[in-house]
Amino acid sequence: MADAIDKVIDQWRRVRPDVDIWPMSVLGRIARLSRVLEREYKKFLAEHGLEPFEFDVLTTLRRSGEPYELTASALLKASLVTSGAITNRIDRMEVKGLVERVRDLDDRRSVRIRLTPHGREVLDRIFSLHAANMERILQPLGREECEQLASALRILLESFGDTSLE
């Protein structure tokens, strides 16, 4: 069975047979899959009244453990967006009652972003559904294939120095 990337590769082989384009078979599929997955995640989260950035913030705070809060700078590092963007996102999430800003008692200049009880309830309600959705997405692959794919992708990420959230 041929996919869209096979068609692109065939086109390139016709017009540029002198170039070895085998990497496109992997990287083209990763790029295309990234767009497909983003669309699937957006659709799933929209069904639950969340934006992807909100889900990212909620999960980052929840997995940080009690008291489910991080400094604004730590949240900024984990989110990989600009400080202006994170401020805007937190503002919007505060209006929805998902997070709150609290002054750091040790450093009054610093602000911590805390998951509210409502934010925790929203996340906890949909997190198992999110896990089931991810499993649905991977259903065409067997468990062993998924583990092999995860291992190969880990090697690529490590080669680019992407080894931590910070």
Q: What is the CATH number of the domain that holds 87?
A: 1.10.10.10
Beta bridge partners of 112: 71, 102
41 and 70 in one domain?
Answer: no
Nearest Cα residue to 104 out of 71, 64, 76, 75: 71
The angle at the Cα of 129, spanning 126 to 133, to the nearest 5 degrees, equals 135
156 and 113 in one domain?
Answer: yes
The CA distance from 25 to 2, in Å, is: 11
Nearest Cα residue to 76 out of 68, 64, 84: 84
Per-residue pLDDT, averaged over 123-147, amounts to 96
61 and 40 in one domain?
Answer: no
Q: Which residue has the higher pLDDT, 124 or 84?
A: 124
53-110 tens-digit pLDDT: 999 999 999 999 999 998 888 888 777 666 777 888 899 999 999 999 998 777 777 8
Q: What is the pTM of this model?
A: 0.84
| 81 is a domain residue | yes
| 165 is a domain residue | no
| 126 is a domain residue | yes
143 and 75 in one domain?
Answer: yes
Q: Which of 15, 30, 47 is the last residue of a domain?
A: 47
Residue 91 has a pLDDT of 93
57 and 40 in one domain?
Answer: no
Residue 81 has a pLDDT of 66
81 and 34 in one domain?
Answer: no
142 and 93 in one domain?
Answer: yes
143 and 116 in one domain?
Answer: yes
Amino acid at 25: S
Given strand 111-115, what is the order of strands in its sheet?
Answer: 69-71, 111-115, 99-103
pLDDT over 60 (residue 142): yes
Residue 21 has a pLDDT of 94
Mean pLDDT of the chain: 91
Total tally of structural domains belonging to the chain: 2
Q: Which of 50-54, 143-147, 150-154, 161-165 has the lowest mean pLDDT?
A: 161-165
Parent domain of 42: 1-47
111 and 66 in one domain?
Answer: yes
Beta bridge partners of 122: none
| 68 is a domain residue | yes
Residue 80 has a pLDDT of 62
| 156 is a domain residue | yes
